[in-house]
A = this chain, B = another copy of it.
């Protein structure tokens, strides 16, 4: 969590662009272990993306799954959408691409990293994962 899938035109982003954009996205999730944040870029060839039935070649479509946390209120959701749009703007809006994104929230209990189930939100174990920035075993039920 989260997993961002970014569908974009061929050659829209350099390797450096992608790393910077992934870094900005990772920055959104400052309360989580950094290694929770996955971003996959995928080029969409010409004549393979349609909006309203018409082919588009300047569109960036982002699909996100949130797993570790759910946004608890209308205000939190509104704020999240706003800061997400700000995070991606320099590489998308400011370059003249059209864009759209949507987020789904999927079950915390159906998630595994390196064979380990991530520790509960805000637990001592999660704090350790944040500090060490890698998944390490822990005993379920201990604080």
Contacts and interface: CB of A to CB of B under 8 A. Distances in A.
The 3 closest A-B pairs by CB, nearest first: A34-B52, A22-B50, A15-B47
Report the copy number of this chain in the oligomer.
3
A110 B51 contact: no
Given A53-B23, A104-B65, A18 B48 contact: yes
A57 B84 CA distance: 26
Given A85-B115, A110-B77, A40 B7 contact: yes
Interface string A78-112: 10110011000100010000111111111101111
Given A40-B7, A93-B115, A109 B63 contact: no
Interface residues of A, number: 65
Interface in A13-45: 15, 18-19, 22-23, 25-27, 33-42, 44
B48 A41 contact: yes
B65 A51 contact: no
